[in-house]
Amino acid sequence: MGSFKDLLIYKKAFTLAMEIFEMTKNFPKEEQYSLIDQIRRSSRSVCANIAEGYRKRQYLAHFVSKISDSDMENSETQVWLDFSCACNYISKELYDEKIEKSQEVGRLLNHMIHNPEKFK
Compute the distance between CA of residue 49 and CA of residue 105 in angstroms, rounded to an integer. 13
Q: If we measure between CA atoms, which residue out of 12, 2, 19 comes closest to residue 94?
A: 19
Query: Which pLDDT tens digit goes with each residue over 51-108?
Result: 999 999 999 999 999 999 999 999 999 999 999 999 999 999 999 999 999 999 999 9
**Mean pLDDT score across all residues of the chain:** 97
Name the percent of the chain lying above pLDDT 90: 98
Q: What pLDDT, on a 0 to 100 scale, did the predictor assign at position 100?
A: 98
Query: CATH code at 112?
Result: 1.20.1440.60
Mean pLDDT of 9-26: 98
Q: What is the mean pLDDT of residues 102-117?
A: 97
pLDDT of residue 113: 97
On the question of pLDDT at 1 being above 80, the answer is no
* Exposure on the CB side of residue 38, measured as CA atoms within 13 A: 14
Query: Residue 58 has what pLDDT?
Result: 92
109-120: average pLDDT: 95
How many structural domains does the chain have? 1
Indicate if the pLDDT at residue 2 is higher than 80.
Answer: yes
Task: Give the span between the Cα atoms of 113 and 3, in whole angstroms.
Answer: 18
Q: Coil, strand, or helix at residue 6?
A: helix
The residue range of the domain holding 25 is: 4-119
